[in-house]
Amino acid sequence: MARAAFTGSFTQQAPIPEAGIAAALDVMRSGRLHRYNIAPGETPEVVALERAYADWQGAAFCLALASGGQAMQIALRAAGVTPGDKVLTNAFTLAPVPGAIAALGAEPVLVEITGDLVIDLADLAAKAQHSGARHLLLSNMRGHLADMDRLMQIARAAGLTVIEDCAHTMGARWNGQRSGNFGLAGCFSTQTYKHMNSGEGGFLTSDDAAFMARATMLSGSYMHYAHHGAGPGAEAYRDIRFEMPNLSARMDNLRAAILRPQLAGLDDAIIQWNARYDRVAAHLSGHPALRLPKRPVAEAYVGSSIQFFVPGLPDDMARAFLEATAALGVDLKWFGAAEPVGFTSSHQSWRYAPAQNLPGTDRILAGLFDMRLPLTFSLEECDLIAAHILDVAADLSRAAA
């Protein structure tokens, strides 16, 4: 008997907690949405959020920003990237990552990835040596962590400053250490499809006071840098305050208000995401035509999306796979398409970066499928979605045979 099509939405996020709605109403009633519009004796929502996120992340400093993309741009500039510099980054990522490099007038140097969707450390070492790059913007794409111990060894040997893009790894750990705490800085996103939802928003974290002072001035603090919940002391700004331009990339109190209750529930949300990821992975890993990226023992992941490969699948059959799953209500993304679709693109379409030869990455992406796992899915719905994927895979296997 044919299975019923899945009718849920892959873009429907969990509602904002009632505490966040109440806090947002309080902010709107006050009229004090701007983070520096402070009444006497008041602790603004952004200040409270920065303190709470720094504590949760285990970082000395936290800066709340208008987006994760702004966090990356500001981090690169505060780290010393200048126009014309070369900056290493993953060949498999989303467009805002090389976009952040290009926005500074710098040049992305793309590093191959492995079959487990992480940066290829051998290619990283080689390109660090030959490119002249002094910075690595590491993208933990789709929540997959490279061997961070070995990566940092390579970075130290090559003199690379590491900035981590943790948009998909908020809450993940490598050997017990939180993603974002390995390099100079961690960049996080609170865009709707990330682990906390404020529509747009982001965080920048670091233990380096001078770096964070530069970043705070770049964010648009004017001379209100003392009004930060988790920023460095006034001495860090003595000279920097005259040197950094104002980029007006601040988070406002309204977004901070809806994020604080989400942060309080984030550890529980991670457990729920992983239950959904593990449920789907258990089904898909049993099919001989499909392959899932390996999850190392050292990696504590956050499974808000899942990826799998159909190795050797021709383009026409990949498109047929997408069409057949879509007809059953399953919204897959394919990274092997020639043209970008929605949020999904590959390095060939980033024409603000020089064209680069990446045969290993191209071969891997040709068979890569990706799927969101929002918390609005029940575990039983995850079973149904996985069953539809397996049914279509079986049909394609028979057709190919």
Give the neighbor-by-neighbor strand order of the sheet with 86-90. 61-65, 202-206, 185-189, 161-165, 135-139, 86-90, 107-111
In degrees, rounded to 5, the angle at the alpha carbon of residue 281 between the alpha carbons of residues 110 and 295 is 50
The pLDDT mean for the chain works out to 96
CA angle (75 as vertex; 72, 80 as ends), nearest 5: 130
Domain 266-400, architecture per CATH: Alpha-Beta Complex (3.90)
Q: State pLDDT tens for residues 110-134.
A: 999 999 999 999 999 999 999 999 9
Residue 158 CA to residue 174 CA, distance in Å, equals 22
Model-level pTM greater than 0.95?
Answer: yes
- Say if residues 156 and 148 touch (Cβ distance below 8 Å): no
Q: Evaluate if residue 323 carries a pLDDT over 90.
A: yes
Output the pLDDT for position 400: 66
| Whether residue 401 has pLDDT greater than 70 | no
Domain boundaries, the chain: 18-264, 266-400
At residue 163, what is the residue type? I
- Banded model confidence at residue 59, pLDDT cuts 50, 70, 90: very high
Burial 80-101 (b: 16+ CB within 10 A, else e): ebeeebbbbbbbbbbbbbbbbb
Q: How confident is the model at residue 395 (pLDDT cuts 50, 70, 90)?
A: confident
**Contact (CB, 8 A) for 171 and 151:** no
C-alpha–C-alpha distance, residues 65 and 301, integer Å: 24
Average pLDDT over residues 324-336: 96
CA angle 81, 184, 232 (to 5 degrees): 100
Predicted pLDDT of residue 340: 87
Whether 18-264 and 266-400 share one fold: the answer is no
Half-sphere exposure of 237 (CA within 13 A, CB side): 18
> 18-264: what fold?
Aspartate Aminotransferase; domain 2 (3.40.640)
Q: What is the mean pLDDT of residues 269-282?
A: 98
- State mean pLDDT over 179-185: 98
Mean pLDDT to the nearest integer, 280-301: 96
